[in-house]
Structure 1
Amino acid sequence: MYSCSDLKKGLKLMVDGEPHVIVAFDFTKPGKGQALYKCKLRNMITGSLFDRTYRSGESFEPASLEDRDMQYLYQDETGYVFMDQKTFEQVTLTEETLGDDKYFLIDNMDVKVLMFGDRAIGITLPNFVNLKVTQTDPWVKGDTAAGNNKPATVETGYSLQVPSFVEEGDLIQIDTRTGAYNTRVKE
């Protein structure tokens, strides 16, 4: 069990029978009375945000979540299919559940799938992924100014800003935490 002193940003706990994560946290101690812990919570199943204030002395149940090593297989009309590498069990996540993470999935990629009981509620990607540039404007002689970026689209449909020397067909490394260009990769 967690107490109010354990509350912090990123902590996962059960609220009303569903897992929630604290996305913002503020502690206030009025001159008189109990300390207040103001939290902004995100429901990990529905994605809804709400504010809740707790008083010191309250306790919380930790969220019973499990990270499972899985492999991304394919996308079909029902969603994105992942397979547990030990049991070969398959789970499907919807496009809404994945959000922007769907742009960084490539076939046979190893990911961690966050499970709440038997239900998949999210994924954790590797920090970096290599994707091929499918569309970008050609480099123009003289475009050498520092910080001169241009838009590009990669094989998964994701659009980002890349340096002017990156061309169509190049393999680039993207930071999945920020969605930003990291470096060009030799094949």
Structure 2
Amino acid sequence: MRFLLTKRLSPYLHHATASASPSPSSLPPSRRYASLISVALTDDRRSQPSVHHAFRRVLAAPWSAIQYRGLKLRGSDVKPGQIIEKRGVSHTSGKVYEVLKAQHSCQGRGGAVIQVELRDVDSGNKTNERLRTDEAIERVFVVQKPYNYLYTEDDIIVLMEPNTFEQVDLPKDMLGEAVAYLKDDMKVNVQLYDGKPVSASIPQRVTCKVVEAQAPIKGIGATPHTKKVLLDNGLTVQVPPFILAGEEIVINTLDNTYMTRA
């Protein structure tokens, strides 16, 4: 993070160095950066307003120094899980959305479009929109951090950062059906934008216990390829016919499908 911040500040520090007197390199190391910052903040606003104000913004919000924008995507490249910035007809500035679903469809003579479901990061409201395959979309990169699951209270999931013990609250609908798989101390990856959670995910492989299952059918007659079983988290999934009650199995949490015995 220090490297990224230094890289982002380097144009402003270079400008400050050019106009500073005495030269910062002649100062002791403990005063060098203090001198550069002081010069940048007292620079002539009329001659370099953009440098001055940009530098002040970075000092006021250090997080912005590592919040990347600028990568342009085509509509055809938009995928679920991405965070994008999109400017609507009624918005003078872009709004940030999480892509929940993206599906290609053909509109006859109108050509192919991408039907997307978006969630407004600020309000949490969901919306459906159509994107042209060649439409320019700006992707926003987020910071991903691992948290441990603590407990769920009403519609709020409480997580804890394992190193700092800082807690963060997530709305249950941010995880969707995956909420059923949460267990004590389970690792939850949270994507943060400007320090605010925008999406979260649990491990793809989770071990669950079968609490109810029909006994295997004996005989030569037709045997079903799968059967339904009830898991200890309340979910019902399809498994091979040889799985019995009391066994532990591994479930793919992306689509709630059986993977293997644990």
TM-score (norm 2): 0.57
More strand by share: 1
What amino acid does structure 2 have at the position aligned with 1:164?
P
Measure how far apart 1:125 and its partner are: 1.9
1:129 equivalent in alignment to 2:206:
yes
Once the two structures are superposed, residues 23-77 of structure 1 have per-residue CA deviations (whole angstroms, 9 ceiling, x without a partner) of 135799x9xxxxx884433323436242244696x75443242211111122222
The whole-number CA distance in structure 1 between the counterparts of 2:222 and 2:177 is 31
Question: In the alignment, is the contact (CA less than 8 A) between 2:73 and 2:139 conserved in 1?
Answer: no
Q: CA RMSD in A?
A: 3.1
**Structure 2 unaligned blocks of 5 or more:** 1-69, 87-93
Confirm or deny that 1:23 pairs with 2:115: no
Alpha-carbon distance in 2 for matches of 1:9, 1:164 = 39
Paired residues of 1:143 and 1:164 also in contact (CA < 8 A): no
Closer, same or farther: CA 17–135 of 1 in aligned 2, 3 Å: same
Partner of 1:153: helix, strand, or coil? strand
Given residue 12 of structure 1, which amino acid in structure 2 is its aligned partner? Answer: I
**Structure 1, unpaired ranges of 5+:** 31-35
C-alpha offsets along residues 89-133 of structure 1, whole Å, 9 cap, x if unaligned? 112222222211112222111121122333323222222110111
Matched with 2:29 is none
Select the residue among 65, 78, 87 that pairs with 1:9: 78
* 1:33 aligned partner: none
C-alpha contact 1:25 1:38 (8 A) present in aligned 2? yes
Match of 2:217 in 1: 140
Which amino acid is the alignment partner of residue 14 of structure 1? Answer: E
**How do 1:145-164 and structure 2 match up within 5 A?**
147-164=224-241
Q: Quick one: percent identity of the two aligned structures?
A: 24
Greater fraction helix: 2
Q: Which has the higher contact order (CA 8 A, sep 6+)?
A: 1
- With over 3 angstroms needed to count, the CA separation of the structure-2 counterparts of 1:4 and 1:122, relative to structure 1, is closer
